[in-house]
Amino acid sequence: MQLYKDQNLRVHNSLSGKKELFQPINEGHIGMYVCGPTVYSNVHLGNCRTFMSFDMIFRYFKHLGFKVRYVRNITDAGHLENDADEGEDKIAKKAKLEQIEPMEVVQRYTVDFHNTLQKFNLLPPSIEPTATGHIIEQIEIIKDILEKGLAYEVNGSVYFDVVKFNEDHEYGKLSGRKLEDMIANTRELTAQDEKKNPQDFALWKKAEPQHIMRWPSPWGDGFPGWHLECTAMSTKYLGETFDIHGGGMDLKFPHHECEIAQAEASTGKSPVKYWMHANMLTLNGKKMSKSTGNNIYPSEIFSGDNNILSKIYSPAVVRFFMMQAHYTSILDLSDEALLASEKGYHRLMEAMTSLKDLKTGATSDFDVAAWKQKCYDAMNDDFNTPILIANLFDAVKHINLIKDDQETISSEDKELLEMTLNAFVYDVLGIENQALTKDDSKALTGVMELLIQIRNDARANKDFATSDKIRDELTALGIQLKDGKDGTSFSIN
Ligand SMILES: [Zn+2]
């Protein structure tokens, strides 16, 4: 029997604003769509957090035994600088700036995106479609919406008629806005505006002669509106109504609101059962922004090439740090926070490594079955990774007590503990053990044993200057010596 049959998973649905019992449309199957990156620059750390959150969700669904089709797109055309259908295409602008083809921009930053996510140990989605690969599907949806009378053509561009749509539907229901308020708060249209109402948005934009990224259509050469690609690709691969649509909080309006409007206009159905939004990442208490310099790229964290952090942090530590916050909470990245996460990460990895050699006894002082259920309860409560991690550290505490002979564990419980820890840490949270490789570790252990021996000899000879020097120098390197009844051991922080 699949694990999901035993679990009451609840997810926060942005559409209702409530935690709801998760019931997929087709039993045992989940269709999930997440808005991917616009590939015109290196991927931001904030975006990495969003994709990492949905990676954890994807992993947990798989762990529970669901068959998941996870679609995450690549936006390689149609995303204008300004969300209100104005300004240049972000990719075309970068191409002009660097004097290369738009598709060279797309290739360069798609590769960077994949490399970065791989370092963070994200699983690839089931399908990764591109906007330019689905122009035909987008044109078909526009034709459909035009036929239903909910869009209009002006000078080779096609706009979605929000006011008309709102007569029979509710535009703004996801972001909690009312069309009347939006109208009251926007400027009047000027004579050169093509739109009937400022809230209308482009489904198709006519390409000016200098615009490089263009495709033929029934309305002349042009390019699709940004919101439309997600409707086209999610419908194509997941159907007219699917289980989960995710993305960053900033996409709720207008992007996701427009997706709902397009889908409802074209199919008459609500496209998504559960809308999920991941919150943002701040840096030292402030919004991350390239223009103010309060910004750091993943590669700068891994190389140490930055003025913000005191040391290098590994991708596994950064991922562990991200998982310590709930995906719907704002998370603040700082040197202190990463240092604390790094300490926790090493404690966890050390405990997991020592688990294999743990002595077993006739009975257990640690109720592993109850603890395991607590881990599931945390994840079933809208993927509460901080509570899950608190439970993992509860296990670490017991492992260390068993190691110190202060508690015992039976062999069955030890096996269950090991299996559960491996599943939650490696499979669900996607935390890699980036501790030393076997060979490195063997060499290090050998050197450490030698140093400990020299220190013991020095102490036996009352040469405390040497023994203290060894201990202090090792501490400075982040290696702690611990004198116990079975001799001296060491740990790396
Ligand atoms: Zn999207």
The answer to whether the CB of 295 falls within 8 A of the CB of 343 is no
Distance 269 CA to ligand 1 centre (A): 18
Tell me the pLDDT tens digit for each residue of 323-361.
Answer: 999 999 999 999 999 999 999 999 999 999 999 889 999
Distance 175 CA to ligand 1 centre (A): 15
Distance 276 CA to ligand 1 centre (A): 13
Q: How far is CA 467 from CA 102, 185, 492, in A?
A: 63, 73, 19
Distance 284 CA to ligand 1 centre (A): 29
Average of per-residue pLDDT across 81-85? 69
Distance 255 CA to ligand 1 centre (A): 6
pLDDT in the model for residue 482? 76
Distance 107 CA to ligand 1 centre (A): 19
pLDDT in the model for residue 478? 73
| CA-based nearest residue to 127, from 57, 75, 69 | 69
pLDDT in the model for residue 483? 78
Distance 298 CA to ligand 1 centre (A): 23
Distance 36 CA to ligand 1 centre (A): 7
* Percent of the chain predicted with pLDDT > 90: 79
- Of the pLDDT bands very low, low, confident and very high (cuts 50, 70, 90), residue 29 is very high
Distance 252 CA to ligand 1 centre (A): 10
Distance 77 CA to ligand 1 centre (A): 12
Q: What's the rounded Cα separation, in Å, for the pair 331 and 322? A: 8
For the record, the structure tokens of 188 come out as 């009047």
| CA-based nearest residue to 229, from 203, 190, 251 | 203
Is a pLDDT exceeding 80 seen at residue 85?
Answer: no
Q: What's the rounded Cα separation, in Å, for the pair 407 and 465? A: 37
| CA-based nearest residue to 317, from 342, 336, 285 | 342
Is a pLDDT exceeding 60 seen at residue 223?
Answer: yes
Distance 227 CA to ligand 1 centre (A): 6
311 vs 266, more confident:
266
pTM: 0.88
The answer to whether the CB of 260 falls within 8 A of the CB of 253 is no
* Percent of the chain predicted with pLDDT > 70: 97
Distance 257 CA to ligand 1 centre (A): 10
Distance 346 CA to ligand 1 centre (A): 37
Sequence-ordered list of residues with C-beta below 8 angstroms from that of 200, at least 6 positions apart, any chain:
159, 160, 161, 162, 163
Distance 461 CA to ligand 1 centre (A): 71
Distance 333 CA to ligand 1 centre (A): 26
Mean pLDDT of the chain: 93
Is a pLDDT exceeding 70 seen at residue 135?
Answer: yes
> Distance from CA of residue 301 to its chain's centroid?
17
Distance 32 CA to ligand 1 centre (A): 12
Is a pLDDT exceeding 60 seen at residue 225?
Answer: yes
Distance 301 CA to ligand 1 centre (A): 28
Distance 159 CA to ligand 1 centre (A): 18
Distance 136 CA to ligand 1 centre (A): 17
Distance 251 CA to ligand 1 centre (A): 8
Candidate ranges 91-95, 306-310, 391-395; pick with highest mean pLDDT: 391-395
Tell me the pLDDT tens digit for each residue of 30-75.
Answer: 999 999 999 999 999 999 999 999 999 999 999 999 999 999 999 9
Is a pLDDT exceeding 70 seen at residue 493?
Answer: no
- Of the pLDDT bands very low, low, confident and very high (cuts 50, 70, 90), residue 83 is low
Distance 258 CA to ligand 1 centre (A): 10
Encode burial over 186-220: b for 16+ CB neighbours within 10 A, e otherwise: eeeeeeeebbebbbbbbbbbbbeeeeebbbebebe
